[in-house]
Amino acid sequence: MTPLFDLLDPVYLLKLYEMSMVKQELSTSERANCTMTQSELNKLFEQPQLNFSLKYCSKIKSFYVSCFFFYILPIGPFITLLFMLVQYWVDKYLILRRYKKPPRLGKELSLSLAEKLEIGLVLLVAGTMLLKWNIHHTIDKVDIACIIITLMVFLTPIAPTVALAVSVQNHISKPRVSPTVENVYSNLDQPLYKDIWTFFDSE
């Protein structure tokens, strides 16, 4: 329901009604009776600001909840995927048509959020164990092994380790070319004279 509430925001709809009333008042002969100042008009007609923290919080909360209750609601991740797709198009429309121009952000925020999604794997296994214990009063050895593996995956910086390993492998496998005289002068404008007599002849 979050995309619908974002699209049909009652506060923004009330603001649109106030804006239409002010426009109608300013376009008629009652313009002199308008008691609003210029700063109040600017504030009224100013577009709302996009709240990035609220958007990210809503998405990551839905993902965590779907992972934790996966044991009793296996369709939860698919519902979350559908929600994120709808939310994407609603946010895109609101950014282009309603919100003011958002500030330029780097890629660090998205990368940090992607790293936080690894907690979903831990919540999925932990939720499965807790719900299975509450329903069946049993925990299998496979569940214990899964929670140990997921904790190891979460606590171990896999992405930086893999990136470092790939960088080292590329550095080792890269062919080393010894700098010859031809390679040194290949990018220079002056010609390379292999014979000293050729140099004097050209002069």
The pLDDT tens digits for 87-115 are 889 888 888 888 888 777 777 777 777 77
* Residues contacting 168, CB < 8 A, separation 6+: none
Mean of the pLDDT values across residues 38-43?
82
Under the banding of pLDDT at 50, 70 and 90, the label for residue 196 is: very low
Q: pTM score, two decimals?
A: 0.62
Q: Strand, helix or coil at 115? A: helix
State pLDDT tens for residues 159-181: 566 666 667 777 676 655 555 54
pLDDT score for 30: 60
Sorted by where each begins, the domain ranges of the chain are 1-46, 51-162
Environment class of 142 (CB within 10 Å of its CB; exposed 0-12, middle 13-18, buried 19+): exposed
In terms of pLDDT, which residue wins out, 203 or 171?
Answer: 171
pLDDT at 23 over 70: yes
Closest by CA to 6, choosing from 99, 71, 118, is 99
Percent of the chain whose predicted confidence (pLDDT) is above 70: 76
pLDDT score for 194: 47
Closest by CA to 9, choosing from 41, 50, 56, 53, is 50
Cα 3 to chain center, whole Å?
Answer: 18
DSSP H/E element including 48? none
* Residues contacting 109, CB < 8 A, separation 6+: 52, 56
pLDDT score for 178: 53
Average pLDDT of the chain, as a whole number: 76
pLDDT score for 157: 63
